[in-house]
Amino acid sequence: MGETEQKEKSHKEKRKEYTYNKLKGLGLEIIEDIEKNKVPSVKVPSRGTGNIIYDDTKRYYVLGDRYGRRSLGNVKQIRKLGQMVYVANFCKDLVAREKTATIREMYYVSEGWGISFKTQQESNIVGEDLEVTLGTTREDLGLMPEEDGASVYGDINLIDEGTEINATKMGKSGYTISPTIDQVDLRECNVDKVLAVETMGMFHRLVQENAHKRFNCLIVGLKGQAARATRRFLKRINEEKGLPVYICNDGDPWGFHIAQVIISGSAKLAHVNEDLATPDAKFIGVTASDIINYDLPTDKLKDVDVMRLKELSKDPRYKSDFWQTEIKKMLKIGKKAEQQSFSKYGLEYVVDTYFPAKFEEMENQA
Amino acid sequence: MGETEQKEKSHKEKRKEYTYNKLKGLGLEIIEDIEKNKVPSVKVPSRGTGNIIYDDTKRYYVLGDRYGRRSLGNVKQIRKLGQMVYVANFCKDLVAREKTATIREMYYVSEGWGISFKTQQESNIVGEDLEVTLGTTREDLGLMPEEDGASVYGDINLIDEGTEINATKMGKSGYTISPTIDQVDLRECNVDKVLAVETMGMFHRLVQENAHKRFNCLIVGLKGQAARATRRFLKRINEEKGLPVYICNDGDPWGFHIAQVIISGSAKLAHVNEDLATPDAKFIGVTASDIINYDLPTDKLKDVDVMRLKELSKDPRYKSDFWQTEIKKMLKIGKKAEQQSFSKYGLEYVVDTYFPAKFEEMENQA
């Protein structure tokens, strides 16, 4: 137990210390300016589209070098800088007390501040400004998104809230990734891969068919577009445990992109992709080739699907031969298929036949 | 442990047996008709609006006595009755093997049947027909909704998948109610009430402030409109454990109705309200009176809010003085408030001040 507690402290405490010092540093910078009789100003990296760059080596979007200055010497910026200092102070208090608040709660709390926000949109932006200025994630600052992350089922031990838990002993719906996933320690993990699927329907199918035992994997139910906490979890498990991550979604542009955001991050969150993107994660289906090879039940592509596929084909994250081929093929057949459509061949087919074939294919590639 | 296993069997097995016999009975009825040289037909209770009645004694919607007959002697009904028999057979197999399928999976499985469905809408309706004909829930038939239910935090022991778990030892996001909640046994429960809240933001606030210990309650995060599994859980905990259920949602017509559907059921699901409605559950806020008394940050009612409030005021489920007064008051002030708006007074206020006041009020009423 002694070792347990010490290790737990290490991940959580490391991040806490780092964030606290960053916040303190911001305040000290302003105080220094004042003491030197300089007009206080803060350097804020630009998040404009011109400063969002796809990094070929890192294989995700990053921010470039451009930045702006928020100065108290500029009448237009006084309000913004004031708000930023208030938010930073609020966050410093959260971090010190090991508390969190939703961005909605912060918006309401700000009613009591000297410089409050007109809309939540405004307070969200200041939160993001702070994130990018300090180079921390919003979650590290104690500002939580509303929604929980994915469901996890399989033989992994975690320490959450001081309790060691195993994700096969939490009921059929498994462990829910909470927004505060960086306060959790990943421990013993008796699996050799992670299988993330788009729908909870497929998640429950996999649990029911004992896929976690048959494939020696963690099953992750993404619930559509992956929450930040889910992406952080997948990143950490890939890095800390060295496990390969496989993603299986619906065979349509939206399923493709749910996988891609996990793999290469989003442009909008370029400043935190380093913490969120898992460039080694692999999309294993449903591909356009799967639709043909498995003769799956399909729906016709809608105009909006076709438009989206064309957009994706020009996106730097989709420039590999694999993606280019699959996007072209889908446009050619004009059809899409859901991951649950494998049940055409019976409920067990996806676990008995499809996934084994896919994993073999992956191993042969590696 | 011996006793544990025996008890677990009892709830799950009782429902299994009941459902299996109902399904078998349906088949036998048809066979009997054939053996007697009668044209087979099945009696299907009507789900039309004319047959949905608010039962004042039960305090929820029920189905009336009207029914129709699906007969193989009627050319128009042959297809529908055939589909129903196929679905019943599919469900009998699920129940026997203790498996489940999503309604989406069933739709795809049906591709292999003699009489397949043109759309999922069509297969859903046949599923509901079967539900109402047999007087069982879809979940008992093994047909699962896609989505998981609410999150539960607090000192309750459950047996899910043969493992005894405690909902304070599953991480910050607690226990997730799975769609198969009737396969779960509720065990030792060291709380004296249930507090269900609309948003996960509020759920995490309550967990963080140790509300489960302070109020000796289970905390339930509804995630908006409560899933069927959530409503079934609340019903069971209220009945089996005799615990009062309190609901706190956003102070607007949508928050009111999320509570009301838990309390009095929905008209659309009149045939299963007996299993889902918890007439003794209480809505404790956010009321229009709270908005005034606590001087909460508000938004103006939109046209659609006003329309909805007027609709609710005419709904039999809202005929009590309490609801009539609160609806009128909200229309009069023309304002609504979110449950997180209490953070205007600090993050802890809702737990330090608001909920204690509400619980005292409730106890004085009782």
In B, minimum Cα distance to A110 occurs at B344
pLDDT at B247: 98
- Model confidence pTM above 0.90: yes
Asked if residue B309 lies in contact with residue B330, where contact means CB atoms within 8 angstroms, the answer is yes
Cβ-nearest to A178 among B112, B172, B342: B172
Does one domain contain both A97 and A160? no
User: Which H or E element spans position A75?
Assistant: helix A75-97
The dihedrals phi and psi of B172, each to the nearest 5 degrees, come to -65, -30
What residues of A are in contact with residue B105 (Cβ under 8 Å)? 201, 205, 340, 343, 347
pLDDT, position A115: 83
Residue tagged 């542009």 (tokens):
A253
Same domain, A278 and A184: yes
Same domain, B71 and B86: yes
**ipTM score above 0.85:** yes
Do residue A49 and residue A135 come from a single domain?
A: yes
Residue A165 has pLDDT above 90, yes or no: yes
Q: Identify the closest residue of chain B to A94 by CA–CA distance.
A: B347
CA gap A227, A146 in Å, rounded: 10
Inter-chain residue contact A148 with B151, CB threshold 8 Å: yes
| Chain A nearest C-alpha distance from B74 (Å) | 30
- Count: domains in chain A: 2
What was the pLDDT predicted at A113?
Answer: 86
Encoded tokens for A151: 């469901």
CB atoms within 10 A of CB A294: 21
CA dihedral A327, A333, A338, A341 (to 10 degrees): -140
> What pLDDT shows up at residue B13?
83
Q: Which residues contact A81 (CB under 8 A, 6 or more apart)?
A: A40, A41, A42, A70, A71, A72
Based on the domain organization, do B137 and B160 belong to the same domain?
no
- A233 and A157 in a single domain? The answer is yes
CB atoms inside a 10 Å sphere around CB B272: 24
Residue at token pair 């991940």: A11
A278 and A344 share a domain? yes
Which residues fall within 8 angstroms of residue A174, CB to CB, at 6 or more apart? A151, A152, A153, A154, A167, A168, A207, A219, A221, B176
Closest CA relative to residue A172, chosen from B3, B129, B320, B181: B181
Question: What sign has the CA pseudo-torsion B95, B99, B103, B104?
Answer: negative
What residues of B are in contact with residue A201 (Cβ under 8 Å)? 102, 104-105, 144, 146
Residues B130-150: tens digit of each pLDDT: 999 999 999 999 999 878 899
Say if the Cβ atoms of B108 and A297 lie within 8 Å.
Answer: yes
Can you give the pLDDT at residue B239? 96
CB contact under 8 A, A201 and B102: yes
Of B54, B67, B108, B349, which one is the catalytic site residue?
B108
Spell out the alpha helix ranges (H) of chain B. Answer: 2-35, 75-97, 103-109, 120-134, 200-208, 211-214, 228-240, 253-264, 273-276, 288-293, 303-313, 321-333, 349, 355-365
Asked if omega into B152 is within 30° of 0 (cis), the reply is no
Distance CA B205, CA B340 (A): 9
The one-letter amino acid code at B140 reads: D
Q: Which residues of A touch B99 (CB under 8 A)?
A: 208, 347
Nearest-angstrom CA–CA distance, B322 and B318: 8
Residue A5 has pLDDT above 90, yes or no: no
pLDDT on residue B1: 41
Domain final position from A92, A115, A144: A144
Lowest mean pLDDT among A100-109, A113-122, A231-240, B210-219: A113-122
The answer to whether residues A216 and A131 belong to one domain is no
Average pLDDT over chain A, rounded to an integer: 93
Q: With 80 as the cut, is the pLDDT of residue A183 above it?
A: yes
Compute the distance between CA of residue A296 and CA of residue A190 in angstroms, rounded to an integer: 34
**Rounded CA gap, B51 and B126, in Å?**
18
- The CATH number of the domain holding residue A231 is 3.40.1360.10
B11 vs A39, higher pLDDT: A39
Contact across the interface for B102 and A340, Cβ inside 8 Å: yes
Q: Are residues A226 and A180 in the same domain?
A: yes
- Neighbour-count burial of B175, counting CB atoms closer than 10 A to its CB (0-12 exposed, 13-18 middle, 19+ buried): buried
Position A9 confidence tier, pLDDT thresholds 50, 70, 90: low
Return the half-sphere exposure (C-beta side, CA atoms, 13 A cut-off) of residue B284. Answer: 24
From the CA of A357, how many Å to the nearest CA of chain B? 21
Angle between helices B228-240 and B253-264 (to 10 degrees): 50
DSSP structural state of residue B182? G
Query: CATH code at A133?
Result: 1.10.10.10
pLDDT, mean of residues A211-238: 97
B144, B169, B188 — which closes off a domain? B144
- Residue A111: which of B161, B184, B297 has the nearest Cβ? B297
> Does the annotation mark B86 as catalytic?
no
Reference B281, options B193, B186, B156, B202; nearest CA is: B193
The pLDDT, as a whole number, for residue B148 is 86
* pLDDT tier for residue A335 given thresholds of 50, 70 and 90: very high
Q: Which residues sit opposite B62 in a β-bridge?
A: B53
Helix crossing, B303-313 with B253-264: angle to 10°? 30
Give pLDDT, residue A3: 47
Q: Note whether A244 and A325 are same-domain residues.
A: yes
User: What is the residue-level pLDDT of chain B in tens, covering all 366 positions?
Assistant: 444 455 556 677 888 999 999 999 999 999 999 999 999 999 999 998 899 999 999 999 999 999 999 999 999 999 999 999 999 999 999 999 999 999 999 999 998 887 888 888 899 889 999 999 999 999 999 999 878 899 999 999 999 888 899 999 999 999 999 998 998 999 999 999 999 999 999 999 999 999 999 999 999 999 999 999 999 999 999 999 999 999 999 999 999 999 999 999 999 889 999 999 999 999 999 999 999 999 999 999 999 999 999 999 999 999 999 999 999 999 999 999 999 999 999 999 999 999 999 999 998 876
Q: What pLDDT is recorded for position A159?
A: 93
Range of the domain at A227: 151-365
Q: Do B148 and A200 touch (CB under 8 A)?
A: yes
Report the pLDDT value the prediction gives residue A329, as an integer from 0 to 100: 98
Residue at which a domain ends, from A77, A111, A144: A144
Please check whether residue B265 is in contact with residue B302, taking contact to mean a CB–CB distance below 8 angstroms.
Answer: no
Pairing assessment for the beta strands A163-166 and A193-197 based on DSSP bridges: unpaired
Angle, CA of A175, A180 and A181, to the nearest 5°: 55
Contact between chains at B184 and A171 (C-beta distance less than 8 A):
yes
Residue B225 to residue B222: CA distance in whole angstroms: 7
Are B300 and B180 within one domain?
Answer: yes
Are A169 and A103 found together in one domain?
Answer: no
Of B171, B179, B180, the CB nearest to A160: B171
